[in-house]
Amino acid sequence: MFTKRLISGIVLVIGAAFLLYYGGLPLFLASMAVSLIGLFELYRVMKIEHDLPGIVGYLAVLAYYGLLWCGRLHLVTFLAIASLMILMTLYVVLFPRYGTEQITVAFFGIFYVGLMFSFLYQVRESLPDGRYLVWLILLSSWGCDTCAYCVGMLFGKHKMTPELSPKKSIEGAVGGVIGAAVLGFLFGLYFDQRMPDVLHAATISGAACAIAAVISQIGDLAASAIKRNHSIKDYGDLIPGHGGILDRFDSMIFTAPAIYYAVYFLTLL
């Protein structure tokens, strides 16, 4: 099991590095594919993955990525309202075929998986010096996970959420945030001269990673909470040793928009 997890983890890192380095269409298509697969996994929990609410969700995410590619993000509010209206129409017309929770999750998933994960592409392509800043997403999510695990194993004594995730400790959480901040600072320090549009790159990168690391752990726990609510171990088995897309990218769904807005607002200060 460990060998399988290690190999698939290495393949994931190599694949992510390739996509983040080249950006453009390959990263756009990969982000869209991950969003759709993750949405399928979420909908499968609610048993709507092949049903009408699920189809509305898939089409909405495809439409959103179309707006993103064409630079028409000002229409996202219209897309959200239209999606909600269609879902509520299904709810009313086909009542009581679908429960309130199924319709709610169908709408929630469009934003939780589709819109939020797209910020991986948006950081790379929309922010000044995005080709470098996009790596902060990995540092703040995977870096935080690794540092939190190591610090928790060595010093963890106080449980953070004993009912939700018994192995996570407050010490580990703090270590994860500090570790991510240090990694971000060192990254910004090293690439400072290559990021002319980001003043004080080391400070901004470190602060952005610290903010995103906090949010990263919320994302991880949120995905775990959904699994606990519905008594499932993993969202899927697509990635050997890691589970499904949502099992591996749960924290990145939160860190991608967190890095985008953290860098955006920090550069305004």
Residues found in the chain: 269
Question: Residue 50 pLDDT > 80, yes or no?
Answer: yes
**Cα distance between residue 15 and residue 225, in whole Å:** 28
Nearest CA among 100, 183, 97 for reference residue 140? 183
Q: What percent of the chain shows pLDDT beyond 90? A: 81
Kindly indicate the confidence band of residue 68, based on its pLDDT and cuts at 50, 70 and 90: very high
Instruction: Work out the average pLDDT over 97-101.
Output: 95
Domain boundaries, the chain: 2-266
Q: Going by C-beta distance under 8 Å and a sequence separation of 6 or more, which residues neighbour residue 242? A: 5, 8, 9, 12, 248
* String of DSSP letters for 76-88: HHHHHHHHHHHHH
pLDDT value, residue 6: 65
Question: Residue 41 pLDDT > 60, yes or no?
Answer: yes
For the stretch 121-149, pLDDT in tens is 999 999 999 999 999 999 999 899 999 99
pLDDT value, residue 248: 87
Question: Residue 23 pLDDT > 60, yes or no?
Answer: yes
Instruction: Work out the average pLDDT over 231-247.
Output: 86
pLDDT value, residue 132: 97
pTM: 0.94
Q: Which residues pair with 243 in a beta bridge?
A: 239
pLDDT value, residue 34: 96
Q: What percent of the chain shows pLDDT beyond 70? A: 99
pLDDT value, residue 238: 84
Q: Answer positive or negative: Cα dihedral of 167, 171, 175, 178.
A: positive
Kindly indicate the confidence band of residue 171, based on its pLDDT and cuts at 50, 70 and 90: very high
**Cα distance between residue 257 and residue 121, in whole Å:** 10
Whether the upstream peptide bond of residue 26 has omega within 30° of 0, thus cis, is no
Kindly indicate the confidence band of residue 237, based on its pLDDT and cuts at 50, 70 and 90: confident
**Mean pLDDT value across the chain:** 93
pLDDT value, residue 1: 56
Question: Residue 2 pLDDT > 80, yes or no?
Answer: no
Kindly indicate the confidence band of residue 265, based on its pLDDT and cuts at 50, 70 and 90: very high
